[in-house]
Amino acid sequence: MPAVRTPSPAPHGPRIADGGPVALLRLARTTGSEHFQQALLHRLLELFGADHGAINTWHPRCFVSSVGIGYDLAAMSAEWNRIGGGAMDFITFAMRAQPEQADFANADDPRWQHAPPAWRAFLTRHGIVHQMGVAIPFEGSETFAHLYLNRGPASPPLTPHDARALTALTSHIREALLVNRLYAHARQGLDEQSRPMALVDPQGWILFANRAFCTAWPELADLAHAQAPQLPADWLSLSTAKHRRLAAAGWTLEVAADGPNLRVALQRRRVRGAAALLTPRQAEVARAYSDGYSSKDIGLRLGLSPATVRVHLRNVYARAGVGSRSALRAWLAQDG
């Protein structure tokens, strides 16, 4: 997990005139990709007098990577998933509705007051009383960086001036992210157009992912049963025998040391005759299920009880090494 640090005290309110945009670009050119978002976040917390914050990289439906300062990301991610935070996070909804336009909410904001009690308790438990954030799209992809700069109960509320200042800086933040990704391409070999690659810490938390990895992550997260941007421990083993589940789904994986971290590279391997691993009945059930039919519908079509269909599906999932309908569909598609 990325180190959790508390930034040095700073006067509240943005200090963009202090060379902010130029300093961000210099930071992007001189910092390794595995450290850049943490360093960028620290700089922005100082600029805006925020107490804590996070940068989350999102591909549709799931996290790809996350860094935070002032939070225990593991505990926060687990609680966020447990309470269904994705359906209650009103500030993120507002950010995604207007990319590159910062939004904020203080404790007296009506959205805060009308939020479900579980969400208000979550924010309070993590010291978030005043929230501000902006969604930054990655050019040419479906991936977004979600930037959050938050203040605690001892700090003054955020203001429209803070939001305007963050909006004005957002294009420079996006440029810094792009420059650093080009840095990763040129100096660290994380080519945006190559196979999926990522840098992770020893516990598997994703520090940086190239574009191919972001695109593949929804399927990989499903295979890993991951609810946070963290790879399972058995994937990080240098022994390929530990990667049977990935191999069954058509992926090969390589793990190598990269300083104190690990470099993970994946390759989609075309598997011939995937359905040949199934019995004829399992193949029938699998194809019907991947086409969108329910267990009841499949039972009616094949003369089976829904319970028997579910047994066949459990066996299919085990043989294919998948955990969802979409992953099963992709696995069957390998037959062409």
pLDDT tens string 235-251: 887 655 556 667 777 78
Choose the weakest-confidence range: 154-158, 175-179, 219-223, 287-291: 219-223
Domain identity same for 46 and 82: yes
Domain identity same for 48 and 181: yes
Q: How many C-beta atoms lie closer than 10 Å to residue 335's C-beta?
A: 13
Domain identity same for 163 and 60: yes
Residue 137 has pLDDT above 70, yes or no: yes
CATH number at residue 327: 1.10.10.10
Residue 7: inside a domain: no
Residue 253: inside a domain: yes
Residue 310: inside a domain: yes
pLDDT at res. 1: 31
Domain identity same for 168 and 295: no
Residue 102 has pLDDT above 50, yes or no: yes
188, 210, 228 - which closes a domain: 188
132, 164, 188 - which closes a domain: 188
C-beta of residue 55 within 8 angstroms of C-beta of residue 40: yes
Residue 241: inside a domain: yes
Query: Residues 72, 227, 32, CA angle at the centre, nearest 5°?
Result: 60
> Helix, strand or coil for residue 266?
strand
Domain identity same for 93 and 181: yes
CATH number at residue 144: 3.30.450.80
Residue 128 has pLDDT above 90, yes or no: yes
Structure confidence by residue, pLDDT tens digits, 164-174: 999 999 999 99
Residue 174: inside a domain: yes
User: Between 168 and 181, where is the model more confident?
Assistant: 168
Average pLDDT over residues 207-212: 81
Domain identity same for 168 and 58: yes
Residue 10: inside a domain: no
Provide the domain limits for residue 279. 274-333
- Of the candidates 42, 55, 118, which has an alpha carbon nearest to the alpha carbon of residue 92? 55
Domain identity same for 258 and 301: no
Q: How many CA atoms lie within 13 A of 53 on its CB side?
A: 29
Domain identity same for 140 and 230: no
C-beta of residue 130 within 8 angstroms of C-beta of residue 104: yes
Domain identity same for 180 and 205: no
Cβ neighbourhood burial of 258 (10 Å; 0-12, 13-18, 19+): middle
Average pLDDT over residues 25-51: 89
Structure confidence by residue, pLDDT tens digits, 307-323: 899 888 888 887 776 77
Cβ neighbourhood burial of 100 (10 Å; 0-12, 13-18, 19+): middle
Domain identity same for 205 and 318: no
Domain identity same for 236 and 166: no
Residue 5: inside a domain: no
- The pair of structure tokens assigned to 67 is 């860094």
pLDDT at res. 257: 85
Domain identity same for 177 and 304: no
Residue 171: inside a domain: yes
129 pLDDT band, cuts 50/70/90, is very high
pLDDT at res. 197: 85
How far, in Å, CA of 322 to CA of 331, rounded?
Answer: 8
127, 162, 188 - which closes a domain: 188
Average pLDDT, the chain: 82
Residue 116 has pLDDT above 50, yes or no: yes
147 pLDDT band, cuts 50/70/90, is very high
